[in-house]
């Protein structure tokens, strides 16, 4: 966001951090285009639903994604992802996984969570797509903003060096 627009945003009373230091540090590593959306999502969940949500995973490098992909394929661990490096929106800082923190414990978000519908409604109001809507592989804690891009298109930009000053793929 342009600094002037940022001031306007702040003037509207939007908070620039969340209740949670861990979440704040993960938001700082997201693609600049979704940092404010993520802040607003987490803060709305707190103010409107009285839920403390934490971003448990955000940006993940392509190398880290490939290591995750290998789990359960090159050894006997359980398989944790169907997605190779470069094909997850996490690899571009455009996806987050979210848990609820209650009494210092992490509560997994799934379709049984008591407030899942309200949480998803808030996320969608900021343009997030929800992994729980996926048909073949439900990923309930996962939210992403694609800006209309496929991961393969972002990978092409990445490989061709279409990056901003911070090293994130350029999104117009």
Give the footprint of Zn ion on this chain (CB under 5 A).
Answer: 97, 142
DSSP SS3 for 102 = strand
Quick one: 15 or 101, whose CB is closer to Zn ion?
Answer: 101
**Rounded least distance, CB 57 to Zn ion, Å:** 6
- What is the DSSP secondary structure assignment for residue 16, as one 8-state letter? S
Quick one: 97 or 100, whose CB is closer to Zn ion?
Answer: 97
Quick one: 9 or 66, whose CB is closer to Zn ion?
Answer: 66
Question: Which residue sits closest to Zn ion, CB atoms considered?
Answer: 142
Contacts of 132 (CB under 8 A, 6+ apart): 110, 111, 116, 120, 138, 139, 140, 142
Q: Which two tokens stand for residue 110?
A: 């799934």
Calpha distance 8→1 (Å, rounded): 11
**Rounded least distance, CB 165 to Zn ion, Å:** 26
**Rounded least distance, CB 9 to Zn ion, Å:** 26
């Amino acid at each position: 966001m342009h600094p002037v627009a940022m001031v306007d945003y702040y003037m509207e009373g939007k908070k620039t951090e969340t209740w949670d230091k861990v979440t704040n540090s993960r938001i700082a590593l997201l693609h600049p285009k979704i940092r404010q959306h993520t802040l607003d999502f987490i803060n709305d969940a707190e103010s409107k639903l009285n839920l403390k949500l934490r971003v448990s995973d955000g940006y993940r490098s392509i190398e880290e994604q490939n290591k995750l992909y290998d789990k359960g394929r090159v050894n006997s661990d359980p398989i944790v992802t169907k997605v190779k490096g470069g094909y997850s929106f996490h690899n571009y800082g455009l996806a987050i996984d979210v848990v609820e923190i209650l009494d210092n414990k992490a509560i997994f978000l799934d379709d049984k969570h008591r407030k899942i519908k309200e949480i998803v409604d808030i996320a969608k109001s900021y343009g997030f797509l929800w992994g729980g809507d996926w048909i073949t592989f439900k990923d309930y804690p996962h939210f992403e903003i694609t800006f209309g891009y496929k991961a393969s298109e972002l990978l092409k930009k990445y490989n061709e060096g279409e990056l901003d000053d911070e090293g994130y793929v350029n999104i117009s």
